[in-house]
Structure 1
Amino acid sequence: MLTWTLWCGLLFVLWIYFLWSRRRFYLLTLKIPGPIGYPFLGMAHKLMRREDILNEFGIYMAKHGPTIFSWLGPIPFMIVSEPQVVQDILTSPHCVNKGIIYKAVDDGAGVGLFSLKDPRWSVHRKLLNPAFGHKVLLSFLPIFNKETAQLLSQLDALPGGGEKDLIPLLQSLTLGIATQTTMGCDVKSEENFKSNSLMERYQCRWARQLSGKEANYYRAKTEIRAFIRKLIQKRLSEDTEDSIKSKDKNIFLNLATDLLRRGVFDWKNVEDESNVIVFGAFETTANTVYYVLMLLAMFPQYQERAFEEIKSLFPNSGDFEVTYEDTQQMVYLDLVLNESMRVIPPVPVVSRQTSQDLTLTNGIVVPKGVQIAINMFHMHRSKKIWGPEAESFNPDNFLPHNTRDKHPYAFIPFTKGIRNCIGWRYALISAKVTLAKLLRNYRFKTSFKFEDLYYVEDITMKLKAVPKLEIQKRM
C-alpha cells in the first residue's frame, strides 16, 4: 500500500498537472499568447518588485505581442497595450470595476471614486461631476495664479546654486492648490497634512513593511484622516441656512457635505472622497509639471520653442495673470504636455476586471473574473504606433498631421471611456498656468541623460533616480 507521504505527493503532482492543464486550456481556447508560468506562482515571481514590472511587461510584449494572457498565482490576468483592445475594455460596461491591485489604495485613501465598484461608482461619479464642471474650473484660476506666484518667489533664490531637487517645491504648490480648490482652505502648512505624509500613506503596504515604515504609515493615515474629518466638521458647524444658500454647491467639499446633510452620503463617503480627490489633484499634477521641466531640460531645443511662444503672450518676465483664454493660445505648450505624458504617462498602468464575459472586437471572449492590466506605458512608446523614434521625446509627434491617423485610444494619459479621470481638465489647466510662469521666467538644465531614466510602475509614474534641475533666470 502507498504510504501517506506518497499519497500526498501523488495528490500534489495531480494538482500541479491540473493547474498546468487548465492554463494550457485557457491559452488554447482564448487564442491569446503569453507565458504559462509556474504552478501556483504563475508569473507572480516576476512581478514582485515594482521597479521591475514595466521592464518585465516590455519583455513579454517583445516575445508575445501587445495582448498577453498569463496568471498571477491562481488568478488569470491579461496585459493589454493594443489600442483597439484597450478601447473594447474601457468602453465596456462589463469592465468598469478596478482590479484587485487597488486594495492597497483602499487601505490608505478609503474607498472613493478611484476604486469604488459599480453600480455605486456610477452613482458617486454622477453626483460629483459638477465639482469639475467648466465654470467651476474657471473659478479656480485665481488660486492657480496666486500659488504659482508664490512658487516664483521661492525659485528666485535658486539660480546660481547648481542642480536642485525641485519636487518638494512643486508638491507644496500642488498641495496648496488641491486643498484650496477642493476643501476650501489652504492646509499645506499644517503639520498633519505635509506632502511627505501623503506619500507615506499611499505607498504599497508590502513596500512599507519591507522598508520598516509601517508605523509611520499608520500614524500618517490616522493624522490625515483626523484632519480631513476636522475640516468637514468645521464646514458643517459654520453652515447656517443663509450661508448654505449663498455657497457654490459645486465646490467639492460644499457638494459632498450637502450630500451628507441630505443623507445621500455618509461620513465615510465624504472622508474617502475627500482623501481621493486631494491626492489625485496633488500628486499627478506635481509629477506632470516636473517631468515636463525635466524633459525640456534634456531637450533644450524644444524648451526654447516653448519659451518663445509664452514670451509672445507675456512679453514681460516676473509674475503675471494667466487667463483661460491664454491657456487656449499655448498651442506649442499643448504639444509639449502631450508628448511628455506620452513618454512618461502620469499613470503607467491601470487595472480593470471583467464582471461578465467580454467579447472583444476581434471575436475573442475574455471570461468573467479576469484581471486586466492596461499597459499605457508601452502603448505610448510603441514603434508600430508612434514610429521608429517612439521612445524619444519630440513634441512634433502631436502636430495635427502626425496624429490624424492614430487610433483614438493610442494616447490615453487620463484613461478614456466609461471610467476616465474626473479631473483631467483641472490637471491640464493647472499644469499650463504653472508651466507658463516657470518657462517664461527660468531656463532649466540638467546633466542627467534621457537614456539613463529608469521608470518604476506605481499608482503614479515614478523614476528610480530623479534628475535634479539647474535653473537660470530669464529676462
Structure 2
Amino acid sequence: MFELLFIFITTSTLFYYYLSYRRSRKRLYELAAQIPGPFDWPLIGSAYLGITVGPTKMCDFLVQMLHTLSSPLRAWIGPLLFVFFDKPEHLEVILNSQSCVSKSYVHRFFRFEYGLLHCAPELWRVLRKRLNPSFSSTTIKNFVPTFNVQADKLVQYFEAFVDREAIDLLPKVSSYTLSAALLNLFGVNVRVNDTEYIEQFAENAEKMWLLMFDRIYKPWYYPDFAYKLTPSYRKEKKRIHKLQQLSIEVCTARESMRLKPKQYQSDKTVPMPEILIERLERITFETNEINEDIMLQNVHTFLFASNDTTSNVIATTLLMMAMYPDVQDRVHKEVTHSVSNDVITIDDLPSLQYLEMVIKESLRLVPVASIIGRICERELQVDNWTIPVGTEVFIPILKLHRDKSIWGQHSERFDPDNFLPERCAKRHPYAYLPFGGGIRNCIGMRYAWMSMKIALAKLIRMYEFSTELRLEDIKLIPSLVLLVANRHMMRIKRRKLR
C-alpha cells in the first residue's frame, strides 16, 4: 500500500512540474508552432533525423535536407527549439539585431567560455572594444615583414617534399600560421622554429574540436553530468590540457617582457600600435576590466582562431588550385607579374585580385564554419515570423554558399568568376558569410586576408601543386572548423624560375 502511495505521489509531482514547465513556456510553443518543421517525437524532438548519420555524411545530409525544406525551419532537440534561417534578407536582420548577440547554447561545448569567440555579450562588448585596435589596418601593416619571413620558411620547408608522394599539407601550413601568430599577436618566439611540435599542436586541436562537435548531435550528452561519464569527456580533457600548455608557455614568456604602465609612453614621434597581447595585459593588469583567467582563455582562443582557421583556408585553396591547374596557372601569372621581388609589400596585396577571388571561392565551397548559432534573447520579428525568446537561431553557411537560387544551377562547381565585381554587385551582401556578419563578425578578417595572400603568393610562385582528388570526391566533416575528410593530399613540384 505504501509503495503504491509513493508511486502515485511521485508521478503526480512530476506531472505537476511538467505542466508548470509547459505553462511557463506557453508563448514559446505558440510561436514555434507557426514555423514549419519536421515531426517531433517526445523528449528527443527532431534528433531522430540524424541519429544514424555518421560524421563524414552529416554535412551532405544537412545540406540536402535544407535544400528540400523551406526556410525558416523549426526543429526541437530535447527542450531546445532550433530555427534555421538561410535567406540573406533574413540573415541581415538576425545578425544585426541586439536580440541575437549571444552565441548558441551548444557553443559552451567548445569550452573557453570567456574567450572572445564564445563569451557572453557583456564581456564580448568589453573585449571587442578594447581589442579592435589590435586588428586595425594601422596595426596589421606592421605584421607584413613577419608574414614574409615565416612564409619564406614555409616555402623552404616544402622543399623537402618536392617530387615525392602526395602528402597532407594542412599540418605543414600550420607551421606558418601558428609561428606568425606567436610573433605578431603575442610578441614571443616560443616554439616558432619547432615544426614538429606545431604540427602535433594542430593535430591535437583538430581532434579536440571534433570531439566537442560530436556532442552537438547527441542530445543525451547535453547535461554535463551525463557527458562527464563518457570516454569522450576524458579524451577531451587531455586534449584541452595539451592546448593550454602552449598558452601557458606564451604567458610565462610574456611575464618577463611585460611593460610597466609608465613604459607605455614612447619617445618616438609615432609610437608602435599595441599588439593583441599588450592590450590583453593592459586591461588585465592596469584597468582590471578582466581577470587573469579571462586573459588566459583569450590567449587560448586567439591561438586557435589565428591558426586553425587560416591554415585550413590556405590548405583548401591550394587543394582547389591543384584540382584546377588552369586556375593555378592564372594565379601564378598574376603573382609573377604583380610582385617584383622576394618581399611582398602592403602595396602589392591589392594587385593580387584573382588570387583573392580564388580564396573567396574556396571559402564559399568550404567555409571556415559550416554553421553559426545565436540565442534569441528578446522576441524578434523576421519577415512574417516572430522568433520567441530562448530560440536557438542557426544559420547553415555551407547551405547558403551553395544555394542555387543565389549562385546558379552550377553552385556546386568551383568558379572564381563568382567573385567578379559585376557578379558581387548583383548579390545580397549577406549571401556570402565566410567570416560571419553583422554585429559579431570576425575581429581578425584583415589579419587573415594578409596572412593568406602572402603565404599563397609565395608558395604558388615557387611550386606547382597537383592532386588526384576531385571536387566531387571531397567529403566534409563538421567541427568548430569545417574539415576535409579526404585530407589535403597534394604533390609538390618546383617551378622553373624565369
TM surpasses 0.5: yes
Q: Which residue identity lines up with residue 148 of structure 1 in the other structure?
A: A
> Contact between 2:366 and 2:482, CA under 8 Å: does it hold in 1?
yes
Distance 1:164 1:192 in 2: 18
1:307-326 to 2 correspondence within 5 Å? 307-314=332-339, 320-326=342-348
Distance 1:448 1:100, change over 3 A: same
User: Are 1:343 and 2:365 matched, yes or no?
Assistant: yes
1:245-324 to 2 correspondence within 5 Å? 245=266, 248-262=272-286, 263-314=288-339, 320-324=342-346
Q: 1:39: how far off?
A: 0.9
Q: 1:47: how far off?
A: 4.7
**Residue equivalent to 2:211:** 204
Residue 330 of structure 1, aligned match among 352, 357, 362? 352
Instruction: Show CA shifts across 1:121-161 (max 9, x none).
Output: 11110011010011111000001100010111111222211
Q: 1:30: how far off?
A: 5.5
Distance 1:13 1:445, change over 3 A: farther
**Residue equivalent to 1:174:** 177
Distance 1:219 1:370, change over 3 A: same
> Contact between 1:33 and 1:69, CA under 8 Å: does it hold in 2?
yes
Distance 1:117 1:150 in 2: 39
Q: Which residue identity lines up with residue 359 of structure 1 in the other structure?
A: Q
**Residue equivalent to 2:444:** 423
What residue ranges of structure 1 are gaps of 5+ in the alignment?
none
Distance 1:313 1:218 in 2: 43
> Contact between 2:190 and 2:253, CA under 8 Å: does it hold in 1?
no
**Residue equivalent to 2:39:** 36
Distance 2:12 2:295 in 1: 54
Residue 94 of structure 1, aligned match among 81, 99, 102? 99
**Residue equivalent to 2:222:** none
Q: 1:254: how far off?
A: 1.2
1:365-384 to 2 correspondence within 5 Å? 365-384=386-405
Distance 2:240 2:123 in 1: 27
Q: Which residue identity lines up with residue 435 of structure 2 in the other structure?
A: F
> Contact between 2:115 and 2:301, CA under 8 Å: does it hold in 1?
yes
**Residue equivalent to 1:386:** 407
How many equivalent residue pairs? 465
Distance 1:201 1:288, change over 3 A: same
Q: Which residue identity lines up with residue 196 of structure 1 in the other structure?
A: E
Q: Which residue identity lines up with residue 202 of structure 2 in the other structure?
A: S
Q: 1:164: how far off?
A: 1.3
Q: Percent identity?
A: 26
- 3-state DSSP class of the match of 1:421? coil
What residue ranges of structure 2 are gaps of 5+ in the alignment?
216-229
Q: 1:240: how far off?
A: 7.5
Distance 1:202 1:239, change over 3 A: farther
Q: 1:9: how far off?
A: 8.9
1:182-197 to 2 correspondence within 5 Å? 182-188=185-191, 189=193, 194-197=201-204
User: Are 1:448 and 2:478 matched, yes or no?
Assistant: no
Q: 1:436: how far off?
A: 0.5
Distance 1:245 1:314 in 2: 35
Distance 2:453 2:357 in 1: 11
Q: Which residue identity lines up with residue 430 of structure 1 in the other structure?
A: S
> Contact between 1:192 and 1:223, CA under 8 Å: does it hold in 2?
no
Q: Which residue identity lines up with residue 303 of structure 2 in the other structure?
A: V
Distance 2:113 2:39 in 1: 35
Distance 2:90 2:463 in 1: 42
Distance 1:163 1:131 in 2: 38
> Contact between 2:355 and 2:453, CA under 8 Å: does it hold in 1?
yes
Distance 1:240 1:259, change over 3 A: closer
Q: 1:202: how far off?
A: 4.1
